Amino acid sequence: MQDKFDFIGKTKIQHGKYNNRIYVMKLSPDDIPEIIQQLEELAKEKDYTKIFAKIQASELPHFISSGYIPEAFIPKFYKNKIDCIMVSRFLNKKRQQVPSENLKQFYHLQHNTVKSQHLKYKHSLKYVINKLGPTDIKHITGIFKKVFVTYPFPIYDPNYIFKTMQSEDVQYFGIWDDKKLIGVSTAEIDLNNKNAEMTDFAVLSEYRGQNLAFRLLVNMEQEMKIANIKTGYTIARLNEPGMNKTFLKSGYKYTGTLINNTNIGGSIESMNIFYKQL
């Protein structure tokens, strides 16, 4: 059921019925403007209800004139110079329905969360954080299966985890209670553009409430700085206040919500965008 990765010209996309969308992950300037029509044709052929794209700010006029709506942005996303705009084209009215109640709750969360780099951790000396490798894959997928009912990428598949580990693009981090892996997070790195997505935060239910995701995030940021990454960002579930709070406490800035964007937690959910200059 997982969506597949594909290319249109030099542009990398993900598409399929799992998320019922096309996700333009890396848009090649060489494919503008023809790709816009090609995306439209693919979406209609497959009966997808949304097209979502990360684009450079200069490319925005092409997309707006083709019916796309800007939903969020990340300053200095490309090479610490060029802004990223996240745009969407809705091909179904139901997909475009705004989750007003969840957005109201998130508004109050923003205004009641205090930024802090010095949270108190329960049992802070007991837990150890490190980078994970191939020998940890069984533990990683085990945690993902327990925490996420559904996910937009095949993170339950050991082969997928192994393949991403072999590249320079993905680093996995884990937090341990003695020899038991209790939490995982991932940094998806774009070295060329000097940005990294802080993602896949998963902590076992019996260990929540101890700011462990915050600890993972702080550790990841330190590693990203060493790698000369300038911008950290995340795509967080709107209806999961815990992770939103973690990023707000860590000084990340909210810039918009991707409406009904991602199959996660068992259904299509809206996602918040946060970023931080590292």
In the chain, the percentage of residues whose pLDDT exceeds 90 is 88
| One domain, residues 75 and 189 | no
> Facing residues of 197 across strands?
188, 233
Q: Which pLDDT belongs to residue 258?
A: 98
Residue 121 — pLDDT band, cuts 50, 70, 90?
Answer: low
| One domain, residues 38 and 124 | no
Indicate if the pLDDT at residue 3 is higher than 90.
yes
pTM: 0.92
Q: How many domains does the chain have?
A: 2
| One domain, residues 198 and 145 | yes
Among candidate residues 57, 90, 123, the one where a domain is terminated = 90
Average per-residue pLDDT for the chain: 94
CATH code of the domain covering residue 69: 3.40.630.30
Domain containing 265 equals: 100-277
| One domain, residues 82 and 119 | no
Q: Which pLDDT belongs to residue 153?
A: 85
CB neighbours (10 Å) of residue 73? 18
95: in domain: no
Q: Which pLDDT belongs to residue 40?
A: 98
**Is the Cβ–Cβ distance between 145 and 240 less than 8 Å?**
no
The average pLDDT across 37-57 equals 98
Q: Which pLDDT belongs to residue 50?
A: 98
| One domain, residues 159 and 183 | yes
| One domain, residues 72 and 109 | no
Among candidate residues 37, 63, 90, the one where a domain is terminated = 90
Among candidate residues 35, 62, 90, the one where a domain is terminated = 90
35-49, 111-125, 157-171, 215-229: which has the minimum mean pLDDT? 111-125
Residue 115 — pLDDT band, cuts 50, 70, 90?
Answer: confident
| One domain, residues 65 and 185 | no
149: in domain: yes
Among 258, 200, 267, residue whose Cα is nearest residue 68: 258
